[in-house]
Amino acid sequence: MAVDNHKKHIIEVDIDDIHEGMVLANEISDGNGVKFIGDGVKISKLIVKKLKDNPPSQNILIYKKSIHPQKIPSIIAKNAQRLKIEMKNLCTATYPDSDFKKLEASVDAAANMLKNKIFNADSAKLINIKSLNQITDLIQGSSQRDGQVIKYIMKIRKKDDSLYKHSINVSLLSCMLGKWLGYRGDSLKILTRSAMLHDLGKVKVDESILHKPGKLSSDEFSIIKKHPEIGYKMLKEINYMSDDVRLGVLLHHEKEDGSGYPLGIKGAQIHHYAKIIAIADIFDALTADRIYHSGLSPLRVLEIFERESFGKLDVKCTMEFIRHISDFYEGCSVSLSNGLQGRIIKMHTNDISKPLILAENKFMDLRTRSDISVMDVFPD
Ligand SMILES: [Fe+2]
């Protein structure tokens, strides 16, 4: 998270664009490799002269905040050619990279443990705290790499995604959202655990209903709708499990307007863990839908998520979630409906599927181009 955010606030500038007052974001060395300006140094008139008289061999990086906002587009445009090459490389890059492989391995390990030690335990009483802690640690460790997790959720989805994988995804997303909302320490751990167990009750639902292709009958749907209550009762048998974990499980299908289940409670009555888990749960389902059925762009998924959430999900949590997820898209390569490839320069949080794009050295604000849409996003 820290590294990704750090990168987002840095911009490369051409030597001709260096001005007094900008703040350097890298060390600059002279021709002999001797450092003569450090990261964080505010550029003075003298430094500007030195740099222009003797241009350094390495790229000059500047903290974005120190550049006048009006200057940013022209700086970006100047670097358009280089960006284009970068984009091309990104679009042909093969996923996953090594960090991504580590994340995948952790998620696989967590899903296997969840399956064997927790969901398939002969009795809830046999679920041991050691296994729960191991899985929670794996998830919390993985969720540190927010950018990788988002890439994982958005890009790599297999058709055989199981209840266990879904549970781990929801747990990863809940843990990240919890962090963005300021949860730390034990409260973050308990939230992660509750999210991991949110669909535990589904182990008691007949598989033929659970995996039925096509529409469920109303009887079948009412059986599925029992899973939060079943999970809650199973967790009641475990005396070391906190009420917060149980309530997150019981209430994750409740809605802000009272239209959810099993209790039909509203707003402030819904436990805050359940509100977070609900967002993660729906987002994971929508993303899976995109891959399996509808072929929607990730930005369209966010747009639907935002719209569907109105009155149903907690507004503050949803906005925080969308804001962070869209942040990660800035700088990503995209393919457009007109066949061009480009890069997202700025997301508009009030019009999520229509960002400002740089393509073929030109800026295109998709809010004013109803004829062009983003087809796919390639996370860095
Ligand atoms: Fe559920």
Q: Confidence class of residue 256 from pLDDT cuts 50, 70 and 90?
A: very high
Query: Are residues 65 and 126 both part of a single domain?
Result: no
Residue 347: give the domain boundaries: 330-378
Classify residue 23 as exposed, middle or buried by CB count within 10 Å of its CB (0-12, 13-18, 19+).
Answer: middle
pTM exceeding the 0.85 threshold for the entire prediction: no
Query: Are residues 35 and 124 both part of a single domain?
Result: no
Q: Is residue 91 part of a domain?
A: no
Mean pLDDT (whole number) for 7-16: 70
> Quick check: 194 and 167 in contact, CB under 8 A?
no
Q: Is residue 93 part of a domain?
A: no
Q: Is residue 231 part of a domain?
A: yes
Packed helices 80-92 and 71-78: angle between N→C axes, nearest 10 degrees? 60
Query: Are residues 144 and 224 both part of a single domain?
Result: yes
Q: Regarding predicted confidence, which is higher, 376 or 5? A: 376
Query: Are residues 50 and 188 both part of a single domain?
Result: no
Q: What span, in angstroms and rounded, lies between the C-alpha atoms of 238 and 194?
A: 13
Q: How many structural domains comprise the chain?
A: 3
Task: Say how many Å lie between the CA of residue 38 and the centre of ligand 1.
Answer: 52
Query: Are residues 118 and 183 both part of a single domain?
Result: yes
Q: Confidence class of residue 92 from pLDDT cuts 50, 70 and 90?
A: very low
Task: Say how many Å lie between the CA of residue 253 and the centre of ligand 1.
Answer: 6
In this structure, what are the phi and psi dihedrals at residue 11, rounded to the nearest 5 degrees? -135, 145
Task: Say how many Å lie between the CA of residue 228 and the centre of ligand 1.
Answer: 6
Q: How many Cα atoms sit within 13 Å of 221 on the Cβ side?
A: 6
pLDDT for the residue numbered 380? 60
Query: Are residues 173 and 212 both part of a single domain?
Result: yes
Query: Are residues 231 and 348 both part of a single domain?
Result: no
Query: Are residues 46 and 181 both part of a single domain?
Result: no
Residues 6+ apart with CB under 8 A from 43: 18, 19, 20, 21, 22, 23, 24, 37, 51
Among 122-136, 220-234, 310-324, where is mean pLDDT lowest?
122-136
Task: Say how many Å lie between the CA of residue 202 and the centre of ligand 1.
Answer: 8
Query: Are residues 199 and 273 both part of a single domain?
Result: yes
How does pLDDT run across 326-358, given as a tens digit for each residue?
Answer: 888 888 888 899 999 999 999 988 888 899 999
Task: Say how many Å lie between the CA of residue 351 and the centre of ligand 1.
Answer: 29
Q: What span, in angstroms and rounded, lies between the C-alpha atoms of 52 and 268?
A: 60
Task: Say how many Å lie between the CA of residue 198 and the centre of ligand 1.
Answer: 6
Q: What span, in angstroms and rounded, lies between the C-alpha atoms of 183 and 185?
A: 7
Q: What span, in angstroms and rounded, lies between the C-alpha atoms of 148 and 105?
A: 13
Which residues on neighbouring strands pair with residue 358, listed in sequence order? 343, 363
Q: How many other CB atoms are found less than 10 A from the CB of residue 320?
A: 17
For residue 210, what are the CA distances in angstroms to 120, 223, 230, 283?
16, 10, 14, 19
Q: Is residue 137 part of a domain?
A: yes
Task: Say how many Å lie between the CA of residue 57 and the centre of ligand 1.
Answer: 56
pLDDT for the residue numbered 34? 65
Query: Are residues 206 and 301 both part of a single domain?
Result: yes
Task: Say how many Å lie between the CA of residue 141 and the centre of ligand 1.
Answer: 24
How does pLDDT run across 117-150, given as a tens digit for each residue?
Answer: 888 877 777 787 888 888 888 888 888 777 777 7
Boundary-marking domain end, from 78, 110, 127: 78
Task: Say how many Å lie between the CA of residue 64 and the centre of ligand 1.
Answer: 42
Boundary-marking domain end, from 78, 109, 137: 78
Q: Confidence class of residue 312 from pLDDT cuts 50, 70 and 90?
A: very high
Q: Is residue 310 part of a domain?
A: yes
Classify residue 48 as exposed, middle or buried by CB count within 10 Å of its CB (0-12, 13-18, 19+).
Answer: middle
Q: Is residue 338 part of a domain?
A: yes
Q: Is residue 356 part of a domain?
A: yes
Query: Are residues 182 and 312 both part of a single domain?
Result: yes
Task: Say how many Å lie between the CA of residue 252 and the centre of ligand 1.
Answer: 7
Task: Say how many Å lie between the CA of residue 245 and the centre of ligand 1.
Answer: 14
Torsion of CA 183, 185, 190, 193, to 10 degrees: 100
Q: Is residue 89 part of a domain?
A: no
Q: What span, in angstroms and rounded, lies between the C-alpha atoms of 24 and 30?
A: 15
Boundary-marking domain end, from 286, 304, 327: 327
Task: Say how many Å lie between the CA of residue 203 and the centre of ligand 1.
Answer: 11
Query: Are residues 58 and 106 both part of a single domain?
Result: no
Alpha carbon 338 to chain centroid distance?
Answer: 27
Task: Say how many Å lie between the CA of residue 361 and the centre of ligand 1.
Answer: 46
